[in-house]
Chains A and B, each alone.
Chain A
Amino acid sequence: MLIEIADTVLMSPSSGLEVDIFIPAINDYFFGMEDMEMKIAVNLEVCESNQVCEGLAPSVFRVNEDDVLEILMSELDASNTELVAKIRKAVSMCPKDALSIVDE
């Protein structure tokens, strides 16, 4: 099953400092609860392209040729709870605290 990510807001570092992707909170979705959204925010002012997130979830995070973090994934396989766990781990392990999850 594929769940499309509700909103993808990608701003270049020159126009803004946050790259947001919105992922519906997968677990809630599965258990039939209210359709909440999970938002991953990258603060590019703080991000140092350490690639910890890329190491954990290379299908989602990638540091590009200009050493700027990009979010690759526009849709997420909801049955892939493993990937969701990796994204959560990437957020918590970011050494600079540049990633955050906001449950809305």
Chain B
Amino acid sequence: MTQLKIDLTDPKVLADPGPTYDILRAKAPVYHIEDDDIYVISRYKDARMVLRDHERFSSEAMGRIATAGLGRCKREGDPLSDAFAENLEKTRNVVTSDPPDHTKMRRFLSKRFTPKRISAWAEKVEGLADELLDEMIQANQLGKADLAAQYAYSIPLIIIAEMLAVPYELRAKFRTWSDMAIGIFSGAPLTQEVQEGCLGLTFFFAEQVQQRRQDPSGDDLISLLIQQNPDDDSTLDDGEIVQTCTLLLIAGHETTANLILNTSRALWLHPEQRARLEHDPSLIPAAIEEALRWDGPVQAVYRSTTCDVEVAGTHIPKGKVVLVQLGAANRDEAQFPDANRFDIDREITEHLAFGSGNHFCLGSHLSRIEGRIAMEALLRRTRNLRPNGEPVRAAGNILRGYSSMPVAFDVV
């Protein structure tokens, strides 16, 4: 038998991972990447089972892998930056923890992210989307519209900056730092400049935490995080709050940006479905759900095994890293008939784009609202949105999207 050899980070695979996912699910539902000693789970049923079984599949691996880049950020001769790097791996947070720690932290945060709390932001997002479109329309006249930089990335970033009450005069810097921190997750080289940017972000958050401790009267997310958790009277220390802020920023920014970009691309690949959305904007939420399933911004998450397990007949030893390939699970024919087809009329079923189980995306409602409003404004005010040059795809098989997407369009 010939050994199946698959490289999920191959640019050819990234351009259209569908066929590779088909092979994985059919031939190697638990595929062992020997070089990295990682097990890739690709079938829907298995992926959902792993995500919902936190006892056998720990989220600790998310921290070990995802924070590895940030942990290497250092400033020579600055003991504070060394302390930060050292702390980062030890600090528990809502993404990397398991119950019972996770349950408490999660409940503390989730109260701020319920659909009702989030829908209060809708008006602000609408105003923002229109304002940004005004500017992008001007850029379009010069042939310089970029849907990523001028629109998709700006919406979630400005909203999260509002939620964290980042002072206006620091917003430009905040954006630069945030871009750099996100770059690390997409495998950008760890230059001195990038390291400085990430440290800038960390020290900025640390300073904000100090300010909130002196004046805890605010209603922003950082003010919430310094409060005592009513569930168990626990509090977060400065390092934990800084890390949580960084997480909220990274998790809530690039992912939503790419939801908007991936949806836009899906629609220009399927102009007949786009035309229907232009005539009937009430179909937009269904299109967003389908884009999440068909080409979601988060293609995979990590877990690690806490004991020997068997998945789809394959033995995975204790302590191994498991990559749950959400994107492949979301194209599983066993769950979604004609799965490789983008179809906004698909019946609502549970896709795994936001994960499943106790780590289900905390920001899913925010992401859906931002995505919906961004697409509504775009479809209302533009026609024939199309590529105008090569989009730049973000590297890696974890986050799926673009860092740049030059476009042209007609104005309504």
Contact = CB atoms under 8 A, between A and B. Distances in A.
B357 A96 contact: yes
B192 interface: no
A77 interface: no
A73 B263 CA distance: 37
A6 interface: no
Contacts of A56: 348
A51 B49 CA distance: 22
Contacts of A97: 52, 357-358
B286 to A, nearest CB: 12
B134 interface: no
A67 B52 contact: no
Interface residues of A, number: 16
A92 B355 CA distance: 14
Interface stretch (B12-20, B60-68, B109-117, B390-398): B109-117
Contacts of A72: none
A96 B360 contact: yes
Contacts of B354: 95
Contact of B114 (A45, A49, A92, A95): A49
A50 interface: yes
B350 interface: yes
A93 B350 contact: yes
B356 interface: yes
B208 interface: no
Nearest to A52: B350
Interface string B47-71: 0000010000000000000000000
Interface in B95-120: 103, 106-107, 110-111, 113-117
Contacts of A92: 350
B364 interface: yes
A50 B360 contact: yes
Interface in A71-104: 92-93, 95-97
Contacts of A50: 114-115, 360, 364-365
B111 A67 contact: yes
Nearest to B358: A96
Contact of A51 (B103, B110, B115, B349): B115
A48 interface: yes
Interface in A47-67: 48-51, 55-56, 63, 65, 67
A23 B252 CA distance: 40
B360 A63 contact: no
Nearest to A67: B114
B114 A63 contact: yes
A48 B358 CA distance: 10
Interface string B129-167: 000000000000000000000000000000000000000
Contacts of B110: 48
Interface in A20-58: 45-46, 48-51, 55-56
A96 B365 CA distance: 14
A89 B348 CA distance: 10
Contacts of A93: 349-350
Contact of B116 (A46, A55, A63): A63
9 contacts: A48-B107, A48-B110, A49-B116, A50-B360, A50-B365, A63-B114, A63-B116, A67-B111, A95-B364
Given A67-B111, A95-B354, A96-B358, 13 more contacts: A45-B107, A48-B106, A48-B110, A49-B115, A50-B365, A51-B115, A56-B348, A67-B114, A67-B116, A67-B117, A95-B356, A97-B52, A97-B357
